[in-house]
Chains A and B, each alone.
Chain A
Amino acid sequence: MPDIASASRPARGMASGALATLGRVLVLPVDVTMRLFDPPMRWMQRIIGARRMAYVFLLPNFIFFGLFVFLPIGIDIVFALTGGTALFPSQRPYVGGDQFAYLFDCGSYLDPATCREDRFWRGVANTARFIAFQVTAMVLFSLVTALVLNMKIRGRGFFRAVYFFPVLLSPVVVALIWKWILQRDGLLNAAITTLGGQKILFFVDPGWAMFWAVFVSVWAHMGFYTLILLAGLQAIPADLYEAAEMDATPRWRVLTRITLPLLWPNMIVVIVLALIKGAQTFDEVFVLTGGGPGTATLMIVQYIYETAFSGQVQNFGLAAAASVVLGAVLFVLTLLQFAAARRKEV
């Protein structure tokens, strides 16, 4: 029988032959190392069976997660149930739910001024306000951008990259750049005064400070969500649009009756992801506004950080209790995300 594979294989050039040899040489140490694992793995498989081998392969990841995720969560809960300023759990007195009781001691949860720990509730209110504006703006701008980038426009590849670049930047860098633009003698005020206007002290006004916090966050992260929506748009079968075109369907109806319904599962994922990320906002806002003016842009994570580390009394217990509350909220949002993702698959 002729060797069809070898007959159809094109003759190798010297360069490709050399590259293949180089590849084999580079892979050799990996190959040798893997072969060393072979005998003990085969022995283990004989002992515990092939089906249970999956758990052996998952074990390193479980250990990693256990050490760096679950153990810190457990320690955090221990801190939340203890008081004092000692760093080690064994030196901290047990106080039960006192820290939570202190946090939730309010005349009205809707008015932080009536709460004993008013800064916590200001952080909650600010975070809720931030999320409401930021998620709405994020989804809207990401959707519009994805729709535009899905069209056959000139330089589409370039624009797709440009919108994603801010996602690659460090949040501190993003915040510093915008701080320099927005400060008293920054670029924006220079432009305003050149056009004959008066300087605006953006970081001194609570409304402007929150506006720019939302703006910077949307600017920095929308590229990521645009990508998700773009992928969703490209998964919509083209023949639906062709059929609509043949029926002379107006563009608005194409958008509302074809595009958006089919894109909805991706939108749900984007909304929930944006909610989870928004609730954890810290670095950009902290660098941009410092939580000010007053506590106008103090987010819940900044409150936790300052309570634990910034004061002369580092109140780890109270900070841990606040972080447990935040964790519970994020857990609910994560369950929502799983449900949304499952619905998308169905």
Chain B
Amino acid sequence: MRAATPVFTSLVLSLLAATAFGGPVAAETTTLRMTWYSDGNEGEVMADLLKRFHEQNKDIDIVLDQVPFKAINETLPVQLASGQGPDMARIVDMGGLSRYALDMRPFLKDPTYWETNFGPFLEWMRPPGDARAIPGFMTQLTVTGPFVNKTLFEQAGVAMPGETSTWEDWAKAVKEVADKVQAPFPLALDRSGHRFYALAVSQGTQGFGANGEPEIVDEGFKRAAQLVYDWHKSGIMSKELWGSVSGTAYRGANDEFTNAQVVMYLSGSWQTGQFAKTIGTAFDWVAVANPCGPGGCSSMPGGAGLVAFKTSQHPTEVARVMEYLASEPVLAEFYSRSLFVPGHLGLAKKGIDYPTASPEAAAALKVFTLSAAKISPIAYRTQGYGNSRIIFNAVISRLGQAVSGETSLEDAYKRITADVTQQIAERNKK
């Protein structure tokens, strides 16, 4: 006992000292989880920003879970439905996940800042019928648009079509280039309903009936579907993209474009940073204005938002993190380093410098920013519609079958309408 007393005393004193001198470290730290996917380097940029936030706010620690895009689409909704979701996540299906979104308005210092700078985009994140919630902000605004391998055009000796050229002009030109230089993919479209709708809007689809409900298969839609079908038949589009996987599976042509196998790649502005890094100076690539059709030359808008969720146990801390990340200087830095088109109205007006951008990337971002100004109201409406992804998934699944020769286009149209009706009914079942 006499020998144990000094040991016991020193142990107690040590514990007391740790408590006394631990300071903020010993105070309770709130740990938040943010689920994140990346197209380019934005994960690294976000990690850096979060580190700086933590240095200024020692009581909040944020764990950044970087996951594949597929996990955001498939795993995250199940996590949220089960109540086990993260505190925040970067998502693209803002309408679909809006029922899980946290309204941060009561926790924000200046909700007016959010209304002013993210106003139109907040509509995409709000649950139906809610005109006031502030669930998050846009990590980027995206616009669809074509990337072109300029070097292949030069090697083939074919002139690139001009700014107001039609889809048919471009299809003819890229086929000619591909035949001459033996490129396997004259024209590639991401296997994505969202990308298809860029074509459909330019072909004049209205998307909605007079009653405001979706009327998907109209004349414009059919023109676009026929183009895609014919392009696959003629070899302008290779079946390796749209025809090689099943259902709603996404398939991009990033790797093929990077490897100079694609003459023209319809994707979008979010690829700029990635291409700047992966292509470098291997060949000359440019972004061009959206080809035109009877419905105009519009791109499809989109983007990803960083959204807070109701499942969070720490809404006050979440709001503090979001306020930091959405503040003008921090968000400007994020957009600048990630090479993203800003989804912040104030910054879009002022303009963002992209000092790290290569000449190709800077030129591409300029083209996309100009395209963003020409987006048609139909495109905005389609993107903002809460069930837009149901439509996009049905379109890509059934057109994929038609392209592979399993069904006819007429059957595909019937199935698209039936699928969308059935899924909306299932979603609305209570």
Report how many residues on chain B are interfacial, defined by Cβ distance under 8 Å.
40
- Cβ of B246 within 8 Å of any chain A Cβ, yes or no, is yes
How far, in Å, is B341 (CB) from chain A's closest CB?
A: 25
- A residues less than 8 Å from B96 (CB atoms): 312
Q: Which of B93, B404, B411, B427 lies in contact with A113, CB distance below 8 A? A: B411
Residues B239 and A310 in contact, CB atoms below 8 Å apart: no
Q: Which of B38-46, B53-61, B75-83, B351-359 contacts A (4 or more CB under 8 A)?
A: B75-83
- Cβ of A166 within 8 Å of any chain B Cβ, yes or no, is no
Q: Which of A70-78, A83-91, A146-154, A334-342 contacts B (4 or more CB under 8 A)?
A: A83-91
Binary flags per residue of B391-430, CB closer than 8 Å to A gives 1, else 0:
0010000001101111100010001001000011011011
How far, in Å, is B295 (CB) from chain A's closest CB?
A: 25
Task: Add 8 more A-B contacts to A85-B429, A113-B411 (CB < 8 A).
Answer: A95-B429, A289-B246, A291-B246, A291-B249, A293-B239, A294-B403, A302-B246, A310-B248
CA distance A311 to B389 in the complex (A): 8
Residues A294 and B426 in contact, CB atoms below 8 Å apart: no
Residues B239 and A206 in contact, CB atoms below 8 Å apart: no
Residues B427 and A85 in contact, CB atoms below 8 Å apart: yes
Q: Which of A84, A293, A313, A315 lies in contact with B243, CB distance below 8 A? A: A293
Known contacts: A83-B426, A118-B415, A312-B393. The answer to whether A204 contacts B243 by CB under 8 A is yes
- Enumerate the 6 nearest inter-chain pairs by beta-carbon distance, A residue then B residue, closest first: A291-B246, A294-B404, A290-B245, A87-B81, A312-B389, A84-B429
- Cβ of A245 within 8 Å of any chain B Cβ, yes or no, is no
- B residues less than 8 Å from A292 (CB atoms): 243-246, 249, 400, 404
Q: Which of A84, A290, A315 lies in contact with B246, CB distance below 8 A? A: A290
Residues A310 and B244 in contact, CB atoms below 8 Å apart: no
Residues A86 and B426 in contact, CB atoms below 8 Å apart: no
Report how many residues on chain A are interfacial, defined by Cβ distance under 8 Å.
37
Question: Which residues of A in the span 302-346 have a Cβ within 8 Å of any Cβ on B?
Answer: 302, 306, 309-315, 317-318
The residue on A at minimum CB distance from B256 is: A184
- Cβ of A280 within 8 Å of any chain B Cβ, yes or no, is no
The residue on A at minimum CB distance from B397 is: A119
Residues A295 and B430 in contact, CB atoms below 8 Å apart: no
Residues B240 and A310 in contact, CB atoms below 8 Å apart: no
- B residues less than 8 Å from A295 (CB atoms): 246-247, 401, 404, 406
Residues B247 and A86 in contact, CB atoms below 8 Å apart: no
Q: Which of B78, B184, B390, B403 lies in contact with A313, CB distance below 8 A? A: B390
- A residues less than 8 Å from B28 (CB atoms): none
Residues A184 and B246 in contact, CB atoms below 8 Å apart: no
CB-defined A-B contacts under 8 Å, sample of 19: A83-B426, A84-B426, A84-B429, A201-B238, A203-B240, A206-B405, A291-B245, A292-B400, A293-B404, A294-B401, A294-B404, A295-B247, A297-B246, A298-B247, A312-B96, A312-B393, A313-B427, A314-B78, A317-B426
How far, in Å, is A298 (CB) from chain B's closest CB?
A: 5
Known contacts: A184-B184, A204-B240, A312-B423. The answer to whether A306 contacts B247 by CB under 8 A is yes
- Cβ of B74 within 8 Å of any chain A Cβ, yes or no, is yes
How far, in Å, is B93 (CB) from chain A's closest CB?
A: 6
- B residues less than 8 Å from A87 (CB atoms): 78, 81-82
Known contacts: A292-B404, A294-B406, A295-B406. The answer to whether A201 contacts B240 by CB under 8 A is yes
CA distance A117 to B91 in the complex (A): 30
- A residues less than 8 Å from B77 (CB atoms): 314
- B residues less than 8 Å from A302 (CB atoms): 246
- A residues less than 8 Å from B400 (CB atoms): 292, 294
Question: Which residues of A in the span 199-251 have a Cβ within 8 Å of any Cβ on B?
Answer: 201, 203-204, 206
How far, in Å, is B398 (CB) from chain A's closest CB?
A: 10
Question: Which residues of B in the span 75-123 have a Cβ within 8 Å of any Cβ on A?
Answer: 75, 77-78, 81-82, 93, 96
The residue on A at minimum CB distance from B251 is: A290
Residues A309 and B243 in contact, CB atoms below 8 Å apart: no
- B residues less than 8 Å from A298 (CB atoms): 246-247
